[in-house]
Amino acid sequence: MHDPDFRTEPAPGALTPLAEIVTGWFTESARNLPWRHPGTTAWSVLVSEVMLQQTPVSRVLPVYEQWLGRWPTPAALAADSAGEAVRLWGKLGYPRRALRLHACAVAITRKHGGVVPDGLTELLSLPGVGEYTARAVQAFAYGRRAAVVDTNVRRVLARAVGGQAQAGPPSTTRDLAAMEAVLPDADTAAALFCAAMMELGAVVCTSASPSCASCPVLGVCAWRLAGSPAYDGPVARPQRFAGTDRQVRGLLMDVLRSAHHPVPQSALDVVWPVDAQRQRAQDALVADGLIDPLPDGRFALPA
């Protein structure tokens, strides 16, 4: 079978209108972010991607600079302690990411000759590197064609292509297929498109109140062309924070980060009045490897 009208068949290697517009816009107006600078290493891309997981750019920037200033290579971080990685992580949140990034540095140093791998399987085997981060490294560090799908890309695809106000529940299979369908064929064009889609979602096609009036994709957006119908899909239930174990864990870690020496149990006990919950959180942090119980009964960041 073939298309009876050859003129509707895009030329091999040609970009879709969406890709054409988004990449053109990105080339003109991309934010100036340090991990996009020329000379950025694969390691610095990996560090930035992990830090940016669930954390806004503005809060990542200072910590990113500190981390790479101190640990410019995986070997440099691997030679330091996990506790220092956690301490310099500061208040970025989800400190297990710091622990995993340190474990990444060790694995890269020992198993990959100090070079961040570029294969999907090798990347996915690294601690803290999932479907998003692995492909982000392939695309942004190595310029490879990879379907990079984060929350921004999911939202832009849902609107511009799917005609929906919001993205449905995440599904790696569906999400990757949706991105593959519009991803340019060539390596460089594909990587640029991924970055452009993320940027559009982060800056223009935002979650709550998108700036459609200034959107470069307005003319081809399926959602706008459909009259901006309201979202009718499933609604995720909100997650609380106040009073949860996560808050208690955060308070405990703040004590350990601030103290530059081991602390006694009493220093941890003062952060939360509910003994059972505080103890549960503390035990979980020990199990996670974020707190190191010393033989003398005191506690410290991991060695």
Partner DNA sequence: GACCCGTGGTT
Partner DNA sequence: TAACCAAGGGT
Which positions touch DNA (CB under 7 A)?
33, 35-36, 48-49, 52-57, 59, 91-96, 100, 127-134, 136, 150-152, 155, 169-171, 198-199, 201-202, 206-208, 237-241, 244-247, 249-251, 253-254, 284
Provide the strand spans (E) within 27-145.
none
User: Do the Cβ atoms of 186 and 174 come closer than 8 Å?
Assistant: no
Shortest Å, Cβ 88 to DNA: 13
Nearer to DNA, 75 or 251 (CB): 251
> Got the DSSP string for 215-279?
-TTGGG-HHHHTT-PPP-S--PPP---TTSHHHHHHHHHHHHHH-SS-B-HHHHHTT-S-HHHHH
Nearer to DNA, 2 or 31 (CB): 31
- Residues 6 or more apart from 85 whose CB is under 8 A from it? 71, 77, 98, 99, 101, 102
Shortest Å, Cβ 100 to DNA: 6
Query: Looking at beta carbons, which pairs linking 3-6 to residues 24 or more positions away fall under 8 Å?
Result: none
> Does the active-site annotation cover 65?
no
Of 52, 60, 86, nearest in space to 252 by CA: 86
Nearer to DNA, 6 or 241 (CB): 241
Nearer to DNA, 13 or 234 (CB): 234
What's the CA gap between 116 and 142, in Å, rounded?
10
Shortest Å, Cβ 174 to DNA: 8
Catalytic annotation, pick one of 9, 20, 49, 131: 49
Q: Please report where in the chains the tokens 């009718």 appear, as a residue.
A: 232
Of 232, 249, 263, nearest in space to 163 by CA: 232
Shortest Å, Cβ 269 to DNA: 17
Catalytic center residues: 49
